[in-house]
Amino acid sequence: MKKILLSTILTALLGVSANAYDADKAKNFDGFFSKMTQEACANSKLFIDATETMKMIKDNEDFLFLDVRTKGEHSVLAVVIENSIHIPLEDLFKKESLDKLPKDKTIVITCHSGTRATMAAMSLKQVGFKQTRVLKGGLVALADANDPKNAPVK
């Protein structure tokens, strides 16, 4: 009988902790995501379009172009401009990677289509990099925006 009672209590305690969640993290995420209404997203300065990015490159504006794609993706197709850096998303939040990023200038983040770049930008903002932007549509959009009128030819 004691074994059954002890077993029941242990099962109940483990069940409660298995169903628990981190309330502090949930509160932080609620504070962050509750501001992301449809109107706020539509008016967001988080995204930058490919044409504006091409203009920034052509005009030699002072910003960092951060590619967060995998090493494999980067080995097939790389953006080769002076102010670009490749840090895969899986390595982005390591101290040595964060130390490579400027806090005092705009960081335009890209990936293939923009999904990983959006996650990276939102996370970088939460750790103190306030001037992050996402290349809307990623490298696919940048390739589409590359035409003779705005290509950064040297």
> Residue 44: what pLDDT?
75
Question: For residue 35, what is the enclosing H or E element?
Answer: none
Question: Nearest 10 degrees: CA dihedral of 93, 99, 117, 42?
Answer: 110
Mean pLDDT value of segment 8-28: 70
Mean pLDDT value of segment 64-85: 92
Cα(76)–Cα(84) distance, integer angstroms? 16
- pLDDT tens per residue across span 108-135: 999 998 899 999 999 999 899 999 999 9
Cα(127)–Cα(47) distance, integer angstroms? 19
Residue 19: pLDDT band (50, 70, 90) is low
Residue 71: pLDDT band (50, 70, 90) is very high
Which runs of consecutive H residues, i.e. helices, occur in 59-114?
71-76, 95-98
Mean pLDDT value of segment 100-110: 96
Cα(124)–Cα(93) distance, integer angstroms? 8
Sequence ranges of the domains in the chain: 2-38, 45-145
pLDDT at 17 over 60: no
- pLDDT tens per residue across span 23-66: 888 887 787 778 777 777 667 788 999 999 999 998 999 999 99
Copy the structure tokens of residue 137: 């549509």
* Mean of per-residue pLDDT scores for the chain: 85
Mean pLDDT value of segment 1-21: 65
Residue 21: pLDDT band (50, 70, 90) is confident
Q: What superfamily in CATH does domain 45-145 come from?
A: Rhodanese-like domain (3.40.250.10)
Cα(50)–Cα(93) distance, integer angstroms? 26
Left if phi > 0, otherwise alpha if psi is -120 to 50, otherwise beta: which for 60?
Answer: left
